[in-house]
């Protein structure tokens, strides 16, 4: 072949290369098409077994209601919302495993969780390092406020709850001396300190304060000390199994002091199990804003009228995340930044939800409930 022929061949090859580059560069990869139109998957963690399983399953039902509503309305910019549910058993080690799976394997940009403060505090450093948003719907320990830039909750801190409970005990019940028995975990420790500080600031006296192990069901020693003390009130922040055991043992031991506890007692399992033994027990609970539509949807999902307050915040958590992702997409850092500026209205937990610089909701309001005929009803 002569030089002119060689030149023609090279020109043809060059043209074909240019055409090939243009063709392939102009194509949109199939994976990007799938990503932009397929489901948006986020994670959920909560106690789906163990001590607080009733609370976790109730919250899961609320999430399912919210997701179905989001998807029925067109999803998030046309993409359906999908949730992967993980059981953390309300415990740190299980929560760590759940978070690692959701972040490293499922590649979620957001985790809605958890229920229990020890689980949320265990998730927090993992989510913070991975720059994945974690939004708790039920964890109230004060320490969560300082757990990271990517860590949020739409339920208020126990600093609010403890102050309200202390004021109710001192000003309304006219109690001046309190004995405290609390569960020895982040939630119980935080409530013990916050309540003690608020009660003493009002002029009251904490005559004793004693922890019990989270897996303990024998609280007779602690309750005997409370009975023998000069306290005129027994403050008893505990989880479900501890509450059942402690109240039952208090009745057997003939404890006379009235019992006041916190929002973890908003679990029908306690009162269904205790029956008449639970009558007269009181606890504080953040106010909620349940709509008739939400109540009906939860009843259809659960087959009963039981709504644990955490479920209201779980439902709103999904709606908040859907609102934010419809604006900024699924990049977790953009979701985080948008959450600090969110203005969510029409919630079934609070009418309006905004987050402060710590990722906590702005403001809180509470009720006191009392148990009558094995049912909790609003007292104040």
What confidence score (pLDDT) does residue 37 get?
78
What confidence score (pLDDT) does residue 13 get?
38
Specify the DSSP class assigned to residue 183: E
Nearest-angstrom CA–CA distance, 62 and 310:
9
Query: What fold does the segment set 159-287+367-378 form as a domain?
Result: Rossmann fold (3.40.50)
What confidence score (pLDDT) does residue 32 get?
26
What confidence score (pLDDT) does residue 8 get?
39
Beta strands 133-136 and 110-112 are parallel
**The whole model's pTM is what?**
0.86
What confidence score (pLDDT) does residue 363 get?
85
What confidence score (pLDDT) does residue 20 get?
40
- Residue-level pLDDT, tens digit, the chain, 380 residues: 433 344 433 333 343 333 343 333 333 332 222 357 799 999 999 999 998 999 999 999 999 999 999 999 999 999 999 999 999 999 999 999 999 999 999 999 999 999 999 999 999 999 999 999 999 999 999 999 999 999 999 999 999 999 999 999 999 999 999 999 999 999 999 999 999 999 999 999 999 999 999 999 999 999 999 999 999 999 999 999 999 999 999 999 999 999 999 999 999 999 999 999 999 999 999 999 999 999 999 999 999 999 999 999 999 999 999 999 999 999 999 999 999 999 999 999 999 999 999 999 998 999 999 999 999 999 97
The radius of gyration of the chain's CA atoms, rounded to the nearest angstrom, is 26
Nearest alpha-carbon partner for 47 in 96, 84, 85, 87: 87
What's the number of CA atoms in the CB half-sphere (13 Å) around residue 189?
9
Query: Is there a shared CATH topology between the 37-157+289-364 domain and the 159-287+367-378 domain?
Result: yes
Tokens for 37, please give them: 């139109």
State the maximum Cα–Cα separation within the chain, in Å, rounded to a whole number: 113
Buried b (16+ CB within 10 A) or exposed e, 72-84: eeebbeebbbebb
Q: Residues 125, 131, 132, 133: is their CA dihedral positive or negative?
A: positive
Give the start-to-end residue ranges of the domains of the chain: 37-157+289-364, 159-287+367-378
Nearest-angstrom CA–CA distance, 76 and 370:
41
What's the number of CA atoms in the CB half-sphere (13 Å) around residue 110?
30
What would the CATH number be for the domain defined by 37-157+289-364? Answer: 3.40.50.2300
């Amino acid at each position: 072949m002569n030089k002119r022929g060689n030149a023609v061949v090279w020109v043809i090859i060059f043209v074909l290369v240019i055409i090939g580059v243009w063709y392939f560069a102009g194509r949109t990869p199939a994976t990007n098409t799938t990503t932009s139109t397929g489901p948006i998957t986020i994670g959920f963690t909560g106690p789906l077994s163990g001590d607080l399983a009733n609370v976790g399953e109730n919250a899961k039902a609320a999430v399912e209601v919210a997701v179905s509503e989001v998807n029925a309305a067109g999803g998030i910019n046309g993409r359906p919302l999908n949730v992967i549910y993980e059981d953390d058993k309300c415990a740190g080690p299980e929560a760590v495993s759940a978070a690692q799976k959701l972040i490293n394997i499922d590649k979620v940009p957001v985790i809605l969780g958890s229920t229990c403060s020890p689980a949320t505090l265990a998730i927090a450093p993992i989510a913070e390092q991975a720059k994945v948003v974690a939004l708790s719907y039920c964890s109230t320990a004060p320490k969560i406020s300082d757990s990271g830039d990517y860590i949020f909750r739409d339920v208020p801190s126990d600093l609010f709850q403890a102050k309200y409970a202390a004021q109710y005990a001192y000003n309304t019940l006219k109690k001046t001396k309190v004995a405290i028995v609390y569960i020895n975990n982040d939630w119980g420790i935080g409530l013990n300190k916050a309540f003690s500080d608020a009660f003493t600031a009002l002029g009251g006296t904490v005559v004793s304060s004693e922890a019990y192990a989270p897996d303990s069901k024998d609280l007779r020693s602690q309750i005997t000390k409370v009975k023998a003390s000069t306290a005129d009130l027994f403050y008893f922040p505990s989880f479900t199994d501890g509450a059942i055991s402690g109240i039952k043992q208090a009745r057997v031991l003939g404890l006379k002091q009235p019992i006041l506890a916190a929002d973890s007692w908003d679990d029908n399992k306690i009162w269904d199990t205790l029956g008449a033994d639970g009558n007269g027990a009181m606890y504080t609970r953040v106010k909620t804003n349940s709509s008739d539509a939400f109540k009906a949807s939860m009843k259809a999902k659960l087959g009963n009228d039981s709504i644990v307050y955490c479920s209201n915040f779980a439902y709103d958590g999904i709606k908040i995340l859907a609102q934010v992702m419809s604006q900024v997409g699924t990049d977790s850092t953009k979701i985080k930044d948008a959450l600090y500026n969110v203005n969510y209205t029409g919630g079934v937990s609070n009418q309006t939800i905004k987050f402060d610089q710590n990722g906590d909701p702005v403001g809180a309001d509470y009720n006191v409930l009392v148990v009558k005929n094995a049912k909790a009803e609003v007292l104040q």
